[in-house]
Amino acid sequence: MGQRNFVFLILLLITTIGCDNNEVHKPQSRPDGIVSLSPAATDLLVHLGLYDRIVGVSSYEANASLKSRLPVVGDYQRIDWETLVVIRPRYLIVQGRSDRMPPGLSERCQSLGIQLIDIQIDRLDDILMMLVRLAQALGVEQTGLNAARKVQIQMDTVIPSGKIPALILLNESGKFSAGKQTFLDDLLTRAGGENVITTSGYPTLDREFLATLAPQIVFVLLPGADDKTVDQARQMVDQIRFSGQSKKTRIRVIRRPDVLLPSCTNAIQLFREMSDEIREKGLQK
């Protein structure tokens, strides 16, 4: 249930950050063109310097600039094949497990001479691995290695001794959270935090369980939230009497539109935001 809830949140996030645009886009073809049906993959392509080779995006695209000027080709479950035939890209990128791809997707791409590339991102390391793998598939392997190295350098830091207990919530009611073995937990750990949620994935929580936790920092990730929603989140955290709480729990609400997206850009930015907050909390001790 928790995993499915997080998938819903991701779809809501992508819908929020993908600006609606009713302008009719004229499909254009190029021999080395790439259609990305994954917002995270699009971000990887931008980091590889392949912005100009992208000729089509998904209906959930997070890059407003690309979505405003390129044809939307649906998503991997509902592909607009007519538009795809006109665009005739060399590559089609989808995100997800290969055993969950729609029947006949690979065969249809093959019949059109389109190379299908599927990526899967669950953890922080996956982002860098997919960056390199995508670069290899697109013939820019060295660029991928260089890009991965730059991302790695930007997140290299000295982890303070003694982790700061922290909680990651994914909505203003505190119902959804990020647990172990997720890219959000990886970022938190790398930034010097210790997740108070010990289960894996994205568990669903209730107020009674939250009261048994003892975080010193609560990160609330609300993509694209308005001021009212942010206030609701702060009030929610203030109302919880966390276990063993001796000082006021530090609350950090982050509402960047891409804050839940497992992408290079978000990973770097969210790492910095978490690191800064954890460092400030450490100085208060």
pLDDT in tens, 29-52: 678 999 999 999 999 999 999 999
pLDDT in tens, 252-282: 999 998 999 999 999 999 999 999 999 887 6
Report whether pLDDT(139) > 60.
yes
Q: Which amino acid makes up residue 33?
A: G
Residues listed for the chain: 285
- All domains of the chain, ordered by start, with CATH? 2-154 (3.40.50.1980), 164-283 (3.40.50.1980)
pLDDT at 157: 64
| Percentage of the chain lying above the pLDDT 70 cut | 85
Distance set, CA 51 to CA 19, 89, 134 (Å): 18, 14, 14
pLDDT in tens, 87-100: 999 999 999 877 77
The phi, psi pair for 168, rounded to 5°, reads -110, 115
Beta bridge partners of 57: 36, 72
Q: Is 224 exposed, middle or buried (0-12, 13-18, 19+ CB in 10 A)?
A: middle
Q: How many helices (H) and strands (E) does the chain have?
A: 11, 10
DSSP state of 24: P
pTM above 0.75, yes or no: yes
How big is the chain by its Cα radius of gyration, in Å? 20
Mean of pLDDT over the chain: 87
**How remote is the C-alpha of 114 from its chain's centroid?**
26
Is 209 in a helix, a strand, or coil? helix
pLDDT in tens, 165-215: 999 999 999 999 999 999 999 999 999 999 999 999 999 999 899 999 999
Backbone CA torsion sign across 10, 215, 234, 256? negative
In 111-268, the DSSP E strands lie at 115-119, 164-169, 193-195, 217-221, 250-254
DSSP state of 88: -
Neighbouring residues of 139: CB distance < 8 A, sequence distance ≥ 6: none
State the CB neighbour count (10 A cutoff) for residue 283. 7
pLDDT at 9: 55
| Percentage of the chain lying above the pLDDT 90 cut | 68
